[in-house]
Amino acid sequence: MFLNNPLLKKLKKKLHNTSPKVEGIVKCTKRNFGFLDVDSKTSYFITPNDMKQVMNGDRISAQIKLDKSREIAIPKKLIVPFLNIFVGKIYTKNNQLFISPYYPVLKELILCYININCTHDFKSGDWVTAKLVQHKLNGYPYFYAKILQFIIEGNNLLAPWRVTLFRHNLEYNEPNILFISNSTNCDSFPRKDLTHLDFITIDNINTKDIDDALFIEQKSKDFINLFVAIADPTYYIPYNSEIDKLACRRGFTNYLPGFNIPMLPRILSEEVCSLQPNIVKPSLVCLIVMDKYGNILDEKINFFLAWIKSKEKLIYENISNWLEKKGSWQPKNKNIANQISLLHNFFKIRKIWRKKYSFVSKERLEYKFNISENGEIVNIIPQIRNIGHKIVEEAMIVANTCAAKILSNNLGFGIYNTHTGFEYANAENVVSLLINYGIYVSAKKIVTLEGFCNLHRILNKLSNNYLNSRIRRLQSFVEISLKPAPHFGLGVESYATWTSPIRKYGDMMNHRFLKSIIQNTQISKPTSMLTSKISDCRRLHRIATRDVEDWLYTIFLSNIKKDNSIIFNAEIFDISRGGMRAYLIENGAKVFIPASFIHINRNELICDPEQGTVYIMGNIVYRISDIIQVKLEEIIIESRNILVRPIL
């Protein structure tokens, strides 16, 4: 009926004559065809034949043509290639070298040649960096790349770490810069001698970069004095010196499964600055006075420079076992035992305060990768946060809250962690969601710090994991700012971390700001470039950690899959139209359950991302936060995907 339709003929003629051009991003599919995404609402079909000219992620301009009543995009011009310098794996075929880019969406094997300065004898499986030098859309008959640098052999157990760091352009080794430990210090400002006080440090057994020490005293039945002493790298590192610039570039110590890459040279982070026991060390100290209800007396917050000497390095597990009357470990003397008891009492008081004025967040499991020296995965186990961890965490939260107040009142700037809770539109969605549970709140209220905290106290009492998951997805993310602002996630008016200066450059800068207040000297406000750089570094480190973990999980579970009888408990944390994502509670691995594994008849299945639910024939069968049992189905090493099948 449409064959001789005059309107359709007219439209075809118009499109042929004008040939409109658009610009967008190429998206490929598993079926070899693709789409050109122009914006969030507009995309055009790209035929399998035309997809051979482009790569997923390329920004191109294309001509739009009508073919059998369907608009299709014909790639015409490359604007920005997705690949430039990239990491990939070498394959050999017919005595020629090919490279497969380390991007799961890119299936192309790209012909490549070796940079004249690269002398390695390349073999299949080797990991390299390369540069794309020819693109088909620029008129070349094939894609062509130049190998720039050898990274590591494919069968090397350290490949997950080294390849990931190269891929994200992150450092693999500690800073290669000379530091002379007996060089002149950076400040001569008087320091209080606190070496007589019984400071203790509490860390993991293998921790070497010890950056915080605690001393607590009961001044009367109504008041507690808590001294938080922090390692002082700025005593040794001048601002804008080579080491300082290097620390700024790195941003953070990069903690990856099995090992870390320090922000500062190890001689600084693990020896010179580290608050090792029985050695006098320069520190920045905060004295915090609290009443018996856990309230901080703001007018008595006092930051000062001091010399301290830790009396003992304590281990989280030992402290927790001693407080819970487990095991055989005992403090070496009554003074240390008294410190542990007083710190435990401080934590209990603050926990009560938090439940009343702030809120206590639900604890989430973390996992520890036990890696051998040569890179083998020994095991992956849940990391339980015990009383020792919680004592130190609460002391650091209190100290960082005090720093934020002092910086805000005296300078008006610093490096702050901020969290705005809900955007107003999301707050309205929260209100609508809560009505279904008989909870009535106003959007105007829950976008305030007080209202946000009250909401979470209500949610804690309700103890509904599904509802908590839905609401958590509507919350904003933590940001870094030069201006003080609330941190809703911690329930405080402002938050500026200074307690890890040998691990975080932002904390090192906050040391300098606090010192300027102590010494009554002028200091310039940094530009937003610094906070942007810190944010970018933090984001990259998190991505790199996730990528290494995903790789290690595929290796670890590939061995387990040989035993098909193993059943895992898994918690669903995301639902998309294509299926469900979950994590294995035993080891933390992120897994995917395709829709086809959930129900054989796709027409009877609805996966609803907005509601976080899965329906079969109109009945809810799965929800976010559900604990289900699954078995390993397929592990795809190349894309780091782990597919599991639910046990019905």
Residues in contact with 616: Cβ distance below 8 Å, sequence separation at least 6, in sequence order? 598, 599, 604, 605
pLDDT band at 182 (very low <50, low <70, confident <90, very high): low
Contact 154, 143 (CB under 8 A): no
Mean pLDDT across 384-392: 94
Element (H or E) spanning 218, and its range? strand 212-218
Distance from C-alpha of 337 to C-alpha of 329, rounded to nearest angstrom: 11
Question: Which one from 44, 103, 235, 316 is the annotated catalytic residue?
Answer: 316
Distance from C-alpha of 6 to C-alpha of 400, rounded to nearest angstrom: 73
Question: Which one from 50, 126, 211, 244 is the annotated catalytic residue?
Answer: 211
Mean pLDDT across 525-538: 96
User: Is residue 67 annotated as part of the catalytic site, yes or no?
Assistant: no
Adjacent-strand bridge partners of 25: 37, 59
Whose CA is closest to 574, among 553, 593, 560? 593
Distance from C-alpha of 222 to C-alpha of 231, rounded to nearest angstrom: 30
Whose CA is closest to 230, among 203, 209, 212, 210? 212
Element (H or E) spanning 375, and its range? none
User: Is residue 507 annotated as part of the catalytic site, yes or no?
Assistant: no
641 DSSP 8-state letter: E
Model confidence at 1: pLDDT above 50: no
Model confidence at 273: pLDDT above 50: yes
Mean pLDDT across 95-109: 89
Residues in contact with 384: Cβ distance below 8 Å, sequence separation at least 6, in sequence order? 365
Please determine, looking at this structure, whether the domain spanning 18-80 carries the CATH number 1.10.30.50.
Answer: no
Question: Which one from 50, 58, 126, 212 is the annotated catalytic residue?
Answer: 212
Q: Give the strands of the sheet with 613-616, arranged side by side.
A: 605-608, 613-616, 619-623
3-state secondary structure 29-82: CCCCCEEEECCCCCEEEECHHHHCCCCCCCEEEEEEEEECCEEEEEEEEEEECC
Q: Give the per-residue pLDDT at 105.
A: 82
Adjacent-strand bridge partners of 22: 62
Please determine, looking at this structure, whether the domain spanning 85-156 carries the CATH number 2.40.50.640.
Answer: yes
Model confidence at 648: pLDDT above 90: no
Q: Which residue has the tokens 């549970």?
A: 437
Distance from C-alpha of 282 to C-alpha of 192, rounded to nearest angstrom: 10
Question: Which one from 50, 58, 126, 203 is the annotated catalytic residue?
Answer: 203
Whose CA is closest to 533, among 463, 480, 593, 477? 480
Mean pLDDT across 347-375: 92
% of the chain at pLDDT higher than 70: 96
pLDDT band at 364 (very low <50, low <70, confident <90, very high): confident
What mean pLDDT, rounded, does the chain reach?
93
Whose CA is closest to 515, among 282, 197, 251? 282
Contact 625, 581 (CB under 8 A): no
pLDDT band at 77 (very low <50, low <70, confident <90, very high): very high
Model confidence at 482: pLDDT above 90: yes
User: Is residue 316 annotated as part of the catalytic site, yes or no?
Assistant: yes
User: Is residue 209 annotated as part of the catalytic site, yes or no?
Assistant: yes
Name the superfamily (CATH) of residues 564-646.
Nucleic acid-binding proteins (2.40.50.140)
pLDDT in tens, 604-640: 999 999 999 999 999 999 999 999 999 999 999 888 9
Contact 302, 286 (CB under 8 A): yes
Question: Which one from 58, 209, 244, 626 is the annotated catalytic residue?
Answer: 209
E-strand stretches of 81-119: 85-93, 96-101, 110-114
Give the residue range(s) of CATH 2.40.50.140 domains in the chain. Answer: 18-80, 564-646
pLDDT band at 104 (very low <50, low <70, confident <90, very high): confident
Question: Which one from 167, 350, 354, 503 is the annotated catalytic residue?
Answer: 503
Adjacent-strand bridge partners of 571: 583, 627
Whose CA is closest to 530, among 278, 270, 249, 265? 249
CA 7, chain centre distance (Å): 55
* Torsion region of 382: left, alpha or beta (phi above 0 gives left; psi -120 to 50 gives alpha): beta
Q: Give the per-residue pLDDT at 461.
A: 93
pLDDT in tens, 568-578: 999 999 999 99
Q: Give the per-residue pLDDT at 512.
A: 97
Model confidence at 437: pLDDT above 50: yes
Distance from C-alpha of 614 to C-alpha of 579, rounded to nearest angstrom: 9
Q: Give the per-residue pLDDT at 395.
A: 98
242-250 and 528-560 helices, crossing angle to 10°:
60
Distance from C-alpha of 565 to C-alpha of 648, rounded to nearest angstrom: 15
pLDDT in tens, 134-167: 999 999 999 999 999 999 999 999 999 999 999 9
Q: Give the per-residue pLDDT at 115.
A: 87
Where b means 16+ CB within 10 Å and e means fewer, 603-640 reads: eebbbeeebbbbbeeeeebbbbbbebebebbebeeeeb
Residues in contact with 471: Cβ distance below 8 Å, sequence separation at least 6, in sequence order? 430, 433, 459
Contact 573, 581 (CB under 8 A): yes
Mean pLDDT across 2-16: 57
Give the residue range(s) of CATH 2.40.50.640 domains in the chain. Answer: 85-156
Distance from C-alpha of 292 to C-alpha of 170, rounded to nearest angstrom: 47
Distance from C-alpha of 221 to C-alpha of 217, rounded to nearest angstrom: 11
Model confidence at 434: pLDDT above 60: yes
> Lowest-pLDDT range, 47-51, 363-367, 375-379?
363-367
Adjacent-strand bridge partners of 381: 368
Where b means 16+ CB within 10 Å and e means fewer, 324-337 reads: eeeeeeebeeeebe
Distance from C-alpha of 616 to C-alpha of 606, rounded to nearest angstrom: 7
